[in-house]
Amino acid sequence: MWLILALACNRGPQEPDRIEPIAEPSGPVDNGSATQRKAEGSAIVSAELATKALGNTMKERVSAAMREGGPLAAIPACQSDAATLTAAAGSNDVRVGRSSAKLRNPDNAGPEWVQDWLQDNQDKRFDHVTGTSDIVDGEARLIRPIQVEPGCLGCHGTHIDQATQTALTAAYPQDRATGYAAGDLRGAVWAIARVQAAE
């Protein structure tokens, strides 16, 4: 007890005036692990921001194109913009993407841990799934579920108009991303952010 009080007295004046717990389940408190936890926390925040940026920009872009010309006119926009927006939402230390258990574009498959999550959750409704955030091998890995909304059905639903369907099939011969209903789980936005080494 005296030892702990003595250590507490050695702290700088800016430190909070309280005694740290004697030990954590994982071992004694030390500055190294505190720095590590901070680095992991900020990697998770970076990953979180990237998933939000991608989710928002894609949704805005698709709705704007739909308003201008309906689903048929919006397909080329989705096709050419998706890759660009996906790259822009990431950075050197963050990678981000959209994936699904029923892909339209096979290039969107994403990392294996994302595919595993999608397989495990593919039969569930959006309301019954939760995202994940983990630190694995020095990376923050994040998954945020994507919901099918009424505005998605023109290109991902059960009654797709003939001209749109023809255009989709021409551009995506392996398309599996139709037959959804509002409230279904469409897939996930994922992100990986490298945990910066402690200084």
Q: Give contact residues for ligand HEC (rule: CB under 6 A).
A: 59, 62, 66, 71, 74-75, 78-79, 82, 98-100, 103-105, 108, 146, 148-149, 151-152, 154-156, 177, 186-187
- The contacts of residue 97 (CB under 8 Å, 6+ apart) are 54, 86, 108, 110, 114, 189, 190, 191
Under a CB-based contact definition with an 8 Å cutoff, are residues 194 and 138 in contact? Answer: yes
Distance between CA atoms of 28 and 23, rounded to whole angstroms? 5
Dihedral of alpha carbons 6, 11, 12, 16, sign: negative
| Smallest gap from residue 44 Cβ to ligand HEC (A) | 22
Q: Which is nearer to ligand HEC, 43 or 58 (CB)?
A: 58
CA angle 52, 56, 59 (to 5 degrees): 140
Answer yes or no: are the C-beta atoms of 191 and 96 closer than 8 Å. Answer: yes
Which CB, 96 or 195, lies closer to ligand HEC? Answer: 96
User: Of 43 and 177, which CB lies nearer to ligand HEC in the complex structure?
Assistant: 177
- In the bound state with ligand HEC, the residue whose beta carbon lies nearer, of 97 and 141, is 97
**Smallest distance, Å, CB 94 to ligand HEC?**
18
Least separation in angstroms between CB 134 and ligand HEC: 21
Least distance from C-beta 142 to ligand HEC, angstroms? 15
